[in-house]
Structure 1
Amino acid sequence: MAAWSDLTFDALEHITSFLSFSDHYRFGAVCKNWRSVSKGKQHPPTPQLPWLVLEEESETRKRKFYSLSEDKHYSIEIPELYGRYICGSSHGWLCAIDIKISGIIINPFTRKYYELPPFPAYDENVDVTTLIEKVPSDCIEQPRGFTFEKMQTAIVFKAILSHDPNERSDFTTLILYGLLHSPAFWRPGDSSWTVVDGPKCAMEDVLYFEGNFYIISAMNVLYVVDFEPEPKLIEVGPQICPEICLEGCALQRYLIDFNENMILIERFSRSVGNDLVITHGFNMIEPNLEEDCLYEWYDIDDYAFFLGRNSAIFVDSSDVPECKKNAIYFTHITESVSPVEFGFHDLGVYDITDKRINTFYSVGVFPPRVDSPVWFTPNSW
């Protein structure tokens, strides 16, 4: 029998098509020959659960990842992410901001990245780039009570990509930034962000759907981004009446492209004291743009949604046995630390059938100050 290390490239590549991402990672560590097969390869077709991108280890500065399917942590050396806050995840790429409020888009495993230009003004009274230049490098506190760290987490609420940069070089990055989560976009080759003109109200989520960016506002109004001739938001679709929450608490909205359907998901939270909030339910609506009407969704069959500061992800549980079906996995949406059952943060999995929330994160405890965990689907190594 031939030695495993002597198997042909084609045979080894065929083997990798059956491996999960973590096994693909181990495969590449066996020997130089196997490493050459795995390096730079797009993620295998084997269905997988997304990972969580967690905080940086204080001593090693390695970035922690959590594999949901294995209930296991991985600490990986990624120097480009040192000290950076993760504010978005799309197509296996992360948007990360450092303490000087400069940003990159990076594939954490190939370590290919794009540098982003300075972000637009934080709000009408504070221009981040001007403020950074005026503050001494050894200064911790900023004017108006802001620290570099606080502004780092506040400047960009969410970032998504239109396409995988591995597949298309003409992708678009759209961010929701500042106090109102205003939209702005950047494309490779641009020297600055282009701000999208729109109403002065808070925006809550953005989705790239059938060739367009759609944004949902806190007022439950759906907009499409019109890039020409001057970038602006245009109201589209039927009027959306928000679900009435009897417990009368916080509401966060998400948009997801689910099997070519645009779904609006409303997330309800309640206060548990000391400004802490806990999620207690979800509601699903389909704003049908062609028929200009709304459809309520009561279940998603064998699928599961993964919501947070990532481009929303769905997984078919029939392909991934360890995934709960007809469920919504969610990460926290505030910086509050909640000393309850969900790992000291508002993390959980919502069973749509029985309307109960359970924990999925049972390993360790987050420190009081930590990045918002972000769902992430590795797509290459």
Structure 2
Amino acid sequence: MSAWSDLIFDVLEHITSFLPLPDHYRFGAVCKNWRSVSKQRRHPPAPQLPWLVLEDDKETRNRKFYSLSEAKHYSLDIPELHGRYICGSSHGWLFAVDLKITGILINPFTRECYELPPFPGYNEYTNVTTLIEELPSDYEEGDGYTFEDMQPRIVFKAILSHDPKERSDFTAMILFGEMHDSAFWRPGDSSWTVIVGPTFSMDDILYFEGNFYVVSAMNLLYMVDFESEPKLIEVGLEIPPENSVEGCGLQSYALFLGRNACLLVDSCRLPECKKNGIYFTHTTQSTSPDEFGFYDLGVFDMTNKMMGTFYSVEVVFPRVDSPVWITPNPW
């Protein structure tokens, strides 16, 4: 019998198409031949569940990740994310902001990175530390001027239209400021373009079949019109009221929601996830865990209308910004 390391490239490459990310790296660590195969992938990787991006370790500054399928933590040294908070995730890329209110778009598994221009309302000289030092004389602790308090006011959420590795003409869109106004940026732009919209706050953004949509706090849906002067156009579809799930169902799919671009996963291909379930993360400023932990993490079963957990409270560390779902995309 021939040695495993001597298998031809096509056979080995076919094997890798069945491997999730951790096993893909283990495959590449077997020998030089297998490592070469793992770096020359020609076929899409095996379907995989999203990971959670957690906080950075205070001692090592490594960024923590949680693999849902393995129920296991990983610690990765990603210097570009040191001291930054995550405000969005799309196609395996993260939006991250630091104390100087500078933003980057980064693939944490390849370290490919885009520097983003100053966010609307700020410039290259803006620094959160300076803003805090210039607080009014009547400021009292708890008034909302810490970096953690200011995070959702800088960028509340950010998503992409496409994977930057597949299309160089992608568009990034954010909700920013007190009222979660919307703005977009494309590679080559020197600044963000603010989109004209209603005066009330926006709650979410999504990209679907070639269009960006914004969900308002009034449960109204708007489409982004990029022609001439970018603006939001109400599409006349009212979002179902909160907690209303009558007549709704995901069948064999599971939905992953949070500051990430929403992810839909087929549980027939990934039976580790709960079919007809909604996995969610949510920003919370609570300093004591409730039944879902510091982060308000949970999974809602739409079949029996029950709430459950997918992440142990004992391993959750207190932090103000919530974890973010990401589908690893190192290829």
User: CA–CA distance in 2 between the matches of 1:325 and 1:4?
Assistant: 37
Match status 1:311 vs 2:261:
yes
How far apart are 1:153 and its partner, in Å?
4.8
Match status 1:9 vs 2:29:
no
User: CA–CA distance in 1 between the matches of 2:212 and 2:24?
Assistant: 33
Match status 1:92 vs 2:92:
yes
Q: Quick check: 1:21–1:44 contact (8 Å CA) kept in 2? A: no
Aligned to 1:26: 26
Match status 1:220 vs 2:215:
no
- Deviation digits for residues 164-208 of structure 1 (CA, Å, limit 9, x no counterpart): 111100000000011111100000001110000111110111111
Amino acid in the other structure paired with 1:308: G
How far apart are 1:128 and its partner, in Å?
6.0
Amino acid in the other structure paired with 1:236: V
Aligned to 1:250: none
Match status 1:371 vs 2:321:
yes
SS at match of 1:143: coil
How far apart are 1:46 and its partner, in Å?
2.2
Counterparts of 1:240-259 in structure 2 under 5 Å? 240=238, 243=241
Aligned to 1:234: 233
Change (3 A) 1:335 1:133: closer
Amino acid in the other structure paired with 1:330: F
Aligned to 1:332: 282
How far apart are 1:44 and its partner, in Å?
4.2
Change (3 A) 1:170 1:39: same
Q: Quick check: 2:18–2:46 contact (8 Å CA) kept in 1? A: yes
Match status 1:143 vs 2:138:
no
- Deviation digits for residues 70-91 of structure 1 (CA, Å, limit 9, x no counterpart): 1110111111111111111111
SS at match of 2:163: coil
How far apart are 1:369 and its partner, in Å?
2.3
Change (3 A) 1:349 1:338: farther
Q: Quick check: 1:88–1:310 contact (8 Å CA) kept in 2? A: yes
Change (3 A) 1:153 1:5: farther
- In structure 2, which of residues 102, 120, 127 is the aligned counterpart of residue 132 of structure 1? 127
Q: Which has the higher strand share?
A: 1
How far apart are 1:129 and its partner, in Å?
4.8
Q: Quick check: 1:71–1:363 contact (8 Å CA) kept in 2? A: no
**Structure 1 unaligned residues grouped into runs of 5+:** 122-126, 244-265, 267-281, 285-295
How far apart are 1:65 and its partner, in Å?
0.6
Aligned to 1:350: 300
Q: Quick check: 2:286–2:294 contact (8 Å CA) kept in 1? A: no
Q: Quick check: 1:308–1:332 contact (8 Å CA) kept in 2? A: yes
How far apart are 1:209 and its partner, in Å?
1.3
Change (3 A) 1:327 1:233: same
**Structure 2 unaligned residues grouped into runs of 5+:** 140-144
Q: Quick check: 1:87–1:158 contact (8 Å CA) kept in 2? A: yes
How far apart are 1:51 and its partner, in Å?
0.6
Aligned to 1:197: 196
How far apart are 1:241 and its partner, in Å?
6.7
Aligned to 2:142: none
Change (3 A) 1:29 1:241: closer
How far apart are 1:370 and its partner, in Å?
4.5
Aligned to 1:59: 59
Q: Quick check: 1:85–1:153 contact (8 Å CA) kept in 2? A: no
How far apart are 1:12 and its partner, in Å?
1.9
How far apart are 1:364 and its partner, in Å?
3.5
Question: TM-score of the superposition, structure 1-length normalised?
Answer: 0.79
How far apart are 1:213 and its partner, in Å?
0.7
How far apart are 1:96 and its partner, in Å?
0.9
Aligned to 1:359: 309
Amino acid in the other structure paired with 1:340: D
User: What's the % identity of the aligned pairs?
Assistant: 69
Amino acid in the other structure paired with 1:6: D
